[in-house]
Amino acid sequence: MSNTDTISDSLSRINLDTHPMRKGFTMTFSNRITVSIRWGEANYSDGKTTAECAAWNTDTYKWIHVIGFDYNDDDVLGHLNSDDVAKFIYMASTMTLGVNG
């Protein structure tokens, strides 16, 4: 959130999805990175304590591997606990496209 953003501005960049197969949300940050956090039946998640996380360039839709995570030849991270989800969101929000993303 920049100094000129309001809570309303920040919340407008969050999209919620309540479908049982893909429960979760996406967030787009001012650095033009979008993250997806999902815990639905069709995701790499147990539906309760872990979530699936992914990130992409908002403008090009190319996958981004967030620093600090091992992707094991995939573009999506599965079964992250709440601490790792928070770290994923923070790291994605602080990356600079073209430098480390």
> Does 95 have pLDDT greater than 80?
yes
Query: What pLDDT was estimated at residue 1?
Result: 45
Q: How far is CA 5 from the centre of its chain?
A: 20
With cut-offs at 50, 70 and 90, classify the pLDDT of residue 11.
low
The pLDDT of 71-99, averaged and rounded, is: 94
Contact 74, 20 (CB under 8 A): no
Amino acid 86: pLDDT? 97
Residue 65 confidence class, pLDDT cut points 50, 70, 90: very high
- Quick one: average pLDDT of 20-27? 85
Q: Is the pLDDT of residue 91 over 60?
A: yes
Q: Which residue has the tokens 């992409």?
A: 56
